[in-house]
Amino acid sequence: MRILVVEDEKGIANFIHDGLKEEGFAVDVAGNGILGLELAQTNDYDCLLLDWMLPGLSGIELCRALRKENSSVPIIFLTAKDTVADTVFGLETGANDYIKKPFDFNELLARVRVQIRSAEDGNNILQCNDITLNPDTHQVIKNQKEISLTAKEFSLLEFLLRNKGKVCSRTRIIEHVWDMHFDADTSVIDVYINYLRKKLDPAGEKKYIETIRGAGYIMREWQ
Ligand code: CA
């Protein structure tokens, strides 16, 4: 899942970036509203975290601009403003949620997960065949046994599971699992898919992740 953070205070931006990355998210950071809007318009993010007061274009203006273009990306405001009127105003511009600074990272993480979840089907536990993934506890279980994955492997599996039954192209995988500093060499995805296959099924007996030639990868229920 890929997140855009638009925040001009470097310390806060780094804190959020590092924390989310550790949780397996792909994270891009913009230090001003204009770059933030540009990135939001060109990439397919799963959630936006917008500071309220930003140089160039405020968080409110950025949010309005995206909603005007009919973008439905979940938007969470980060702000020191905490009066009731400000909250209402922020939500009226089309934001989905609002977090007051200073905030606890776990609170931010929980709010992000709520947004990603409601953008999908409302169920947080992801499952396919005998594999279960819990984004909140970061656990992957197969036949009552936990499978240990790296952050990137976890993130890749989460994306495939969220798209269960649909073919995921390498381009879409890159867009949602890697950040903008990634040099777009799609062969790295094949490498990670192989890591994941080996961890899910060391004996290589079952098809957890199928390759669809010329199209990408899919996870689906066995018939
Ligand atoms: Ca600011």
Average pLDDT, the chain: 90
Gap from CA of 106 to ligand 1 centroid (Å): 21
> How deeply is 56 buried, as exposed, middle or buried, from its count of CB atoms within 10 A (0-12, 13-18, 19+)?
middle
More confident residue, 198 or 89: 198
Q: What pLDDT band is residue 118 in, cutting at 50, 70 and 90?
A: low
Amino acid at 120: E
β-pair type (210-212, 216-218): antiparallel
* Structure token pair of residue 24: 């397996």
> How deeply is 200 buried, as exposed, middle or buried, from its count of CB atoms within 10 A (0-12, 13-18, 19+)?
buried
Gap from CA of 14 to ligand 1 centroid (Å): 13
The neighbourhood of ligand 1, an ion, using CB within 5 A, equals: 8, 51, 53
Digit-coded pLDDT (tens) for 80-114: 866 667 777 777 888 999 898 888 999 999 999 98
Is residue 121's pLDDT more than 60?
no
Gap from CA of 55 to ligand 1 centroid (Å): 7
The predicted model scores a pTM of 0.75
Gap from CA of 114 to ligand 1 centroid (Å): 24
Q: What pLDDT band is residue 218 in, cutting at 50, 70 and 90?
A: very high
User: Count of CB atoms within 10 A of residue 100's CB?
Assistant: 14
* Structure token pair of residue 138: 């970061």
